[in-house]
Amino acid sequence: MNFGPFIFVGLFFTMSLSWLGFVLGPQLQLGSLTQTATVPGGETYPNSRPGLARKGAEIYRANGCAACHTQQVRPRELGSDLDRPLWGIRRSVAHDYVFDEPVMLGSTRIGPDLANVALRLDPNTMVHLYAPRAIEPNSVMPPYRFLFQKRKIAREPSADALKLPEKFAPEAGYEIVPTSDARALVGYLSSLRQTGIIFETPMPQPKIKQPQAAVAPAEANPGTPAPAK
């Protein structure tokens, strides 16, 4: 092992195996992934995000939201994700991310997973961004006050003004309104859903509520969102 070029060739060979396995191989399989059709139904999935949501994705990226939030739902056998209320109806698959750039799957859940957060959003979302502790007192999420604007109330309060609890509300005569960045971010969060049933995702498990009742397969559309926990 004293011959430099021999070591170099050995390094090149062993390391190219890694490159083949994790870069070229996946590229050959997934590189030309594009829209597919839902099963049954035949609707196109996924749809590219509308402009506001795409701008919101930039806000999400710029502020490093992926540092605390993941956007991937694990299959049932690898975690309890699918058993959590409104975390998703199925696991995440490669097709879900075809139009995203960058894909911010995240690696730590200091906050909940956001892959299907659109199913859990409610009118409090803006308040949650402005002052997370107004919604969840134990939250460690940073307040994104810079996405909002504090301004003097004109003749009457703005329709968009945040309804804040007293502790977080501005002084009398002032209101907090979302800027376009906040609207974009909420637009992006509202587009986060992975509910299309496609070929590679198994059908959702039927939920058995009562032993004697007839068992029906779960609906593809989970219905109206409930307040986020």
Partner 1 sequence: MLFLFGSAIVWLVIGTALAFIASLKFHAPGFLADSPIWTYGRVYAARTDALLYGFAIQAALGVSLWLLCRLGRTTLTDPRVCLTAAAIWNFGVMVGIGGILGGDSTGYEAFEMPRYAAPVLFVAYLVIAVCAIITFHKREERALYPSQWFILGGVFWFAWIFSTASALLLCSPVRGVLQSTISWWFAHNLETIVLGFAGLASISYFISKLLERPLHSSYLAMLGFWGLTLFGSWGGIPQGAPLPAWIISLSVVGTVMSAVPILAIMTNFCQTARKDLNALDNNAILRFSYVALIFWFIASVQKIIGALPKVSTLTDYTYFGVAQKELALFGFFAMAMFGAIYYIAPQLVGHEFPCDKSPKIHFWFTFIGVTISYLALVISGIGQGIILSDPKNPFVAALKASMLGVRVRTLGDLLILLGQLALLLNFLGLVAQGCCKAFCGKQKEVRK
- Asked if 101 is part of the footprint of partner 1 (rule: CB under 8 A), the reply reads yes
- Asked if 151 is part of the footprint of partner 1 (rule: CB under 8 A), the reply reads no
Q: How far is the CB of 159 from partner 1 (least distance, A)?
A: 25
**Stretch near partner 1 under the rule CB under 8 A, chosen from 36-44, 89-97, 152-160, 216-224:** 89-97
- Asked if 134 is part of the footprint of partner 1 (rule: CB under 8 A), the reply reads no
> Is the bond preceding 46 in cis, omega lying within 30 degrees of 0?
yes
- Asked if 146 is part of the footprint of partner 1 (rule: CB under 8 A), the reply reads yes
The DSSP H or E segment spanning 27 is: helix 25-30
- Asked if 178 is part of the footprint of partner 1 (rule: CB under 8 A), the reply reads no
Burial of 87 (0-12, 13-18, 19+ CB in 10 A): buried
Q: How far is the CB of 49 from partner 1 (least distance, A)?
A: 13
Residues 25-84 that bind partner 1 (CB under 8 A): 25-27, 29-33, 61-68, 70, 72-75, 78-81, 83-84
Helix, strand, coil in percent for the chain, rounding step 5: 35, 5, 60
3-class secondary structure, 177: strand
Question: Closer CB to partner 1, residue 5 or residue 214?
Answer: 5
Which residue of 39, 52, 105, 169 would you call a contact of partner 1, by CB under 8 A? Answer: 105
Phi–psi pair at 116, nearest 5 degrees: -125, 35
- Asked if 7 is part of the footprint of partner 1 (rule: CB under 8 A), the reply reads yes
Chain centroid offset of residue 146 CA: 21
Instruction: Count Cα atoms within 13 angstroms, Cβ side, for 85.
Output: 9
Number of residues that bind partner 1 (CB under 8 A): 80
Residues 182-221 that bind partner 1 (CB under 8 A): none
